[in-house]
Amino acid sequence: MTNLEVNAVSVVFEGLVAVDGVDAVLARGEIVGLIGPNGAGKTTLVNVMSGFQRPTSGGVTISGKPVRRWSPQVFVRRGVVRTFQGGRPFKRLTALENVAAGALGVGVRSRAARSIAWDLLGVFGLRERAHDLAAGLPYGDERRLGIARALATSPEFLLLDEPAAGMNDGETDALVATLKEVQSSHGFGMLVIEHDMRLIRNLPERVYVLDQGAVLAQGQTETVMRDSAVMTAYLGQVKS
């Protein structure tokens, strides 16, 4: 089975332990949540899993093969792609050009890249924005655009950092339905960082909970969400 794994990963910034000996695995074909209070180390861990941060100790493997000082670009070519909390579109490109850039970045030819981009804009309800500059897109559209651009790389593993941030309940529900459909049809592994419990309860099959950089709990979503330690860690810090 194709897995993306982190093994005993720790990240220390000037004496501050951001990630503390974490073991986790994401398999192709599954959806996994990564949750925890603010400052728990979630984004830092995803940075390690995607090549944006080298671990202080421990390591990453893809299908059992160790990753050794790969750049984010090499991770993408190996099928690991991530989105960011802010979307990070290319502001001076249109929505269509933004998504096509994802495909071009993995070697797809221009005409095929635009075709892939057009299809993905349809999936995310963005075709009417296809020729609008990304700089003028509403926040929700910008976030969907970032996911579409990531998917244009045809990933084996998609890592999403707070994809529903700033969305209302209806937008969140629509995003969950779209992500389920796309993941089911393509079979990639999906890891989702999210504070919105509406999304977490309806999207991932299982979750990891980080607290102070370490794994506090893991397992099936509904079981973990009833765990007393998890409820205490989250008290007053998440949206129901």
Q: Within the chain, how many helices (H) and strands (E) appear?
A: 9, 10
Average pLDDT score, the chain: 90
The pLDDT of residue 235 is: 54
Q: Decide: 48 and 55 in contact? Cβ < 8 Å.
A: yes
Please tell me the distance from the alpha carbon of residue 30 to that of residue 123, in angstroms, as a whole number: 20
Q: What type of residue sits at position 179?
A: L
Please tell me the distance from the alpha carbon of residue 196 to that of residue 14, in angstroms, as a whole number: 31
**pLDDT above 70: residue 78:** yes
- The mean per-residue pLDDT over the stretch 183-198 comes to 92
User: What residue spans define the domains of the chain?
Assistant: 1-43+51-79+191-226+236-240, 88-155
Describe the strand order of the beta sheet including 214-220 as a list of residue ranges.
80-82, 157-161, 189-193, 31-35, 206-211, 214-220
12-40 tens-digit pLDDT = 998 899 999 999 999 999 999 999 988 89
Does pTM top 0.75 for this prediction? yes
- The mean per-residue pLDDT over the stretch 68-94 comes to 86
Please tell me the distance from the alpha carbon of residue 141 to that of residue 136, in angstroms, as a whole number: 10
Q: Which residues are CB-neighbours of 99 under 8 A, at least 6 positions away?
A: 116, 117, 120, 121, 145, 148, 149, 152
The pLDDT of residue 48 is: 95
> 67 falls in which pLDDT band (50, 70, 90)?
confident
**pLDDT above 90: residue 85:** no
46-55 tens-digit pLDDT = 999 999 999 9
> Over pLDDT 90: what percentage of the chain?
68
Please tell me the distance from the alpha carbon of residue 35 to that of residue 57, in angstroms, as a whole number: 22
Q: Which CATH number fits domain 1-43+51-79+191-226+236-240: 3.40.50.11260, 3.40.630.30, 3.60.20.30, 3.40.50.300?
A: 3.40.50.300
102-132 tens-digit pLDDT = 999 899 999 999 999 999 999 999 999 999 9
> 1 falls in which pLDDT band (50, 70, 90)?
low
